[in-house]
Amino acid sequence: MPPRALDPAGVALVDKPSGPSSFAVIAQIRRVTGARTGHAGTLDPFATGLLLVLSGKATKLAPCLVGLNKRYRTEIDLSCRTSTGDPEGKVVERNSPTPEDELSRRLERLRGEIELPIPAASAVKIGGERAYRLARRGVEVEMPVRRSTVHALDVIAYTGGSVTLDVLVSSGTYIRSLAIALGGHCSMLRRTEVGPFSVADAVAPEAFAAERLLPEAEVLARVDAVRAESGA
C-alpha cells in the first residue's frame, strides 16, 4: 500500500457522537482528506465531544498536543458501581443515596495531585495484553496506579443519586477512575476542551470538509500561548 498523502495538512476539531469508536471517526475524516491521519487522544465509544484529528504533515504535531490539559462535563451515577466504571459494564454494587456533605468530602480528596488505579477496561497492557481483553474474559488483575492532576472539579448539579461535574484534568486522567473513587460510575462523558481548543468550534464528522483544517502555524501559536500563560 502506498504511503498516505502529506496534504491536506492541519488539525480537525471534530465533535464525536456517542456510539462509534474514535478510530471509526478518524477513518471517516481520512476518507475525506485522503491523507495520513492521526489523533491527539481518543474517547470511549459511549463518550462524546472534542477529538483533535491530525491530517497529513500535521501528524507530526501529536507530541505537542497529547499532553494538553482536558476539560470534561460528566455525570456520575452514584446509585451503583459497574465493572468498567461506565454504562457499558455490569452492575457490581448498589448504593444508598449519597449525602451532600459526604460527596463534598469525596470530591475534596480528588482535587490536586492524586493517584488512582487505571480502570480494568482500559487499553493499557498488563503482561503484554490489553487490560480490557483480560476484563472481558473475567480475568482479575491488579491495575497499576496513575498520577494525575485535577485542576478543577466543580459541581454543576446534584440530585443525591447523581452528580454532574465540570472537570479540568491533566492528560492521561481517566474520568472513569474519578467516578469509581466517588462511589459510582460515569454515565455521561463529554470532552469540551483540549488545551486551547473547544468543542464549540468543532463540527460533526459528517459535516467535516478539508477547508475546516486548522493550519499548523495557528495550532502551534495557540499551544504556545497556553503554555506561556501557564508558565510551562
pLDDT 10s digits, 145-183: 789 999 999 999 998 899 999 999 999 899 999 999 999
CA 95 – CA 87 distance, rounded (Å): 16
Give the residues across from 113 on adjacent strands.
Answer: 149
CA 130 from centroid of its chain's CA atoms = 18
Match 494538553 to its residue by C-alpha cell: 68
Residue 232: pLDDT band with limits 50, 70, 90: low
* Residues 87 and 175 occupy one common structural domain: yes
Domain of 145 in residue numbering reads as 70-192
* pTM of the full structure: 0.90
* Residues 130 and 44 occupy one common structural domain: no
The pLDDT score that the predictor gives to residue 121 is: 66
The pLDDT score that the predictor gives to residue 59 is: 96
* Residues 145 and 186 occupy one common structural domain: yes
CA 171 – CA 46 distance, rounded (Å): 19
Compute the Cα dihedral for 148, 16, 155, 70 and give only its sign. positive
* Residues 116 and 180 occupy one common structural domain: yes
- Known catalytic residue at 7: no
Instruction: Report the percent of the chain where pLDDT is more than 70.
Output: 90
* Residues 178 and 200 occupy one common structural domain: no
CA 59 from centroid of its chain's CA atoms = 19
Grid cell listed for 176: 472513569
* Residues 139 and 166 occupy one common structural domain: yes
Match 476539531 to its residue by C-alpha cell: 13
The pLDDT score that the predictor gives to residue 230 is: 76
* Residues 50 and 85 occupy one common structural domain: no
| Residue 164, φ and ψ in degrees, nearest 5 | -105, 130
The pLDDT score that the predictor gives to residue 1 is: 39
pLDDT digits (tens, 9 = 90+) for 197-210: 999 999 999 999 99
User: Of 7, 15, 44, 86, which is the active-site residue?
Assistant: 44
pLDDT digits (tens, 9 = 90+) for 117-151: 877 666 667 667 776 676 666 667 666 778 999 99
